[in-house]
Amino acid sequence: MISDKSTVVDELRRTIRDVNNFPKPGIVFKDVTPVLLDARLFARTVQLMAEPYRDARITRVVSIESRGFLFGAPIALELGAGLVPIRKPGKLPAATQRIEYALEYGTDALEMHHHAVQPGDRVMVVDDVLATGGTANAAAQLVGGTGAAVVGFSFLIELDFLKGRQRLQGRRVEALLHYA
Ligand code: AMP
């Protein structure tokens, strides 16, 4: 019986699969798909990711393509908030706003539908993994540009050694699992 947070975190640590050298040599990819196979563990994970924001009057959950959607959608339902997908360029059908951000080599971009987030919205940003923080920071800038408030972030996993949290400075950052 999965109940308290530390039990769930232990269970998650055993369940998340490390895939070495994916998608390129030297990367240890944190595969969260085994969590999705266990309905009870998945449900508790969603509840615990939502928990810190239960009293934060969140009106929009913004989730980042693509694994962010897996957690963002049920968290939005859990909090009674709207769900907003942020996607790679060219995926969203209607008019979008876009942000470009620097990668180790080159740049990448994210898009969000116009008017999906409005001034006055209170937004929580959700993704599966916080690594260097570049993606989450870009998402927050995209949301911030609309005049909405970015209340905080919720990740399933934080790779502490990459110090992504430092790029999100001044904002609330929650993660269930930490890898040092
Ligand atoms: P970053 O912008 O470096 O924080 O990277 C975050 C994005 O890349 C997230 O959308 C993650 O899903 C993905 N990501 C980065 N590193 C990993 C990893 N080791 N395992 C799984 N996903 C990762």
**Mean pLDDT lowest among 15-19, 70-74, 132-136, 167-171:** 167-171
How high does pLDDT run on average in the chain? 96
Q: Residue ranges of the domains in the chain?
A: 55-179
CB 144 near ligand 1, within 6 Å: no
Residue 1: predicted pLDDT: 47
Within 10 A of 6 (CB to CB), how many other CB atoms are there?
8
Confidence band, pLDDT 50/70/90 cuts, at residue 3: low
Ligand 1 binding pocket mutation candidate from 100, 135, 178 (most atoms within 8 A of CB): 135
Active site residues: 67, 104
**Mean pLDDT lowest among 1-5, 22-26, 62-66, 67-71:** 1-5
What mean pLDDT do residues 40-62 have? 98
Look at residue 30 and tell me whether its pLDDT is greater than 60: yes
Which ligand 1 atom sits closest to the C-alpha of 138? Answer: 2
CB 132 near ligand 1, within 6 Å: yes
Instruction: Say whether 56 sits in a helix, a strand or coil.
Output: coil
Q: In this predicted model, what pLDDT tens digit does every residue of 57-69 receive, in sequence order?
A: 999 999 999 999 9
| Cβ contact 139:165 at 8 Å | no
Residues 6+ away with beta carbon under 8 Å from 51: none
Look at residue 2 and tell me whether its pLDDT is greater than 70: no
Backbone Cα Rg of the chain: 16
CB 64 near ligand 1, within 6 Å: yes
Report which secondary-structure segment, H or E, holds 18: strand 17-20
Q: In this predicted model, what pLDDT tens digit does every residue of 129-168 receive, in sequence order?
A: 999 999 999 999 999 999 999 999 999 999 999 999 999 9
Three-state SS for 75-131 is HHHHHCCEEEEEECCCCCCCCEEEEEEECCCCEEEEEEECCCCCCCCEEEEEEEEEC
Q: Structurally, what CATH architecture does the domain formed by 55-179 represent?
A: 3-Layer(aba) Sandwich (3.40)
CB 133 near ligand 1, within 6 Å: yes
Residue 169: predicted pLDDT: 84
